[in-house]
């Protein structure tokens, strides 16, 4: 039995959600359950999903979205695979950038033939993170 992308992402029905620059085909391929999708930023979210194509978009959007991430929330970042859509992003670049903003990565998956996704969360207190692609700020 094939699990949907949203199941692999740990999505639960009714979760307060913010989708940023999400292409319609990617949303369709994720097969999301019924969610409480916000139309603008405000308050905290358990699930935020940012779709970007460039480092510049990442640095403009990621810190603003982090401010709205609930303590137990997930901030997923999606970028085009294999240089598609003229991206300057890769998995290692995304990891490095996320760590620069004091979030840690855990799960990477494929949404479809164009988009990859990487999950970021707040670091757990007392846990040491070792990642050769990123380092948490001191």
Q: For residue 61, what is the domain's CATH number?
A: 3.40.50.150
Q: Is the pLDDT of residue 129 over 90?
A: no
Residue 127 counted as domain residue: no
Q: What Cα–Cα distance (Å) separates residue 3 from each residue in 79, 111, 115? A: 21, 12, 17
**pLDDT at residue number 1:** 60
Residue 129 counted as domain residue: no
Residue 133 counted as domain residue: no
Tell me the C-alpha distance between 125 and 8, whole Å.
Answer: 25
Residue 94 counted as domain residue: yes
Residue 77 counted as domain residue: yes
Tell me the C-alpha distance between 130 and 2, whole Å.
Answer: 32
Domain holding 23, by residue range, is: 5-121
Residue 131 counted as domain residue: no
Mean pLDDT across the chain? 92
Residue 128 counted as domain residue: no
Tokens of residue 59, six digits: 């640095």
Question: How many DSSP H helices and E strands does the chain contain?
Answer: 4, 6
Split into its structural domains, the chain has a count of: 1
Q: How many beta carbons lie within 10 A of that of residue 80, not counting itself? A: 17
Tell me the C-alpha distance between 84 and 65, whole Å.
Answer: 24
pLDDT tier for residue 127 given thresholds of 50, 70 and 90: confident
Residue 42 counted as domain residue: yes
């Amino acid at each position: 039995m094939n699990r949907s992308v949203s199941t692999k992402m740990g999505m639960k029905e009714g979760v307060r959600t913010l989708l940023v620059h999400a292409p319609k085909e990617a949303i369709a391929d994720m097969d999301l359950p019924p969610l409480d999708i916000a139309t603008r930023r405000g308050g905290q979210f358990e699930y935020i999903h940012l779709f970007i194509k460039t480092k510049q978009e990442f640095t403009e959007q990621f810190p603003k979205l982090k401010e709205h991430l609930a303590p137990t929330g997930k901030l997923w970042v999606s970028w085009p695979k294999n240089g598609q859509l003229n991206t300057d992003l890769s998995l290692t670049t995304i990891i490095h950038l996320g760590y620069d903003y004091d979030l840690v990565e855990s799960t990477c998956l494929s949404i479809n033939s164009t988009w990859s996704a990487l999950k970021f969360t707040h670091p757990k207190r007392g846990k040491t993170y070792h990642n050769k692609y990123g380092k948490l700020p001191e």
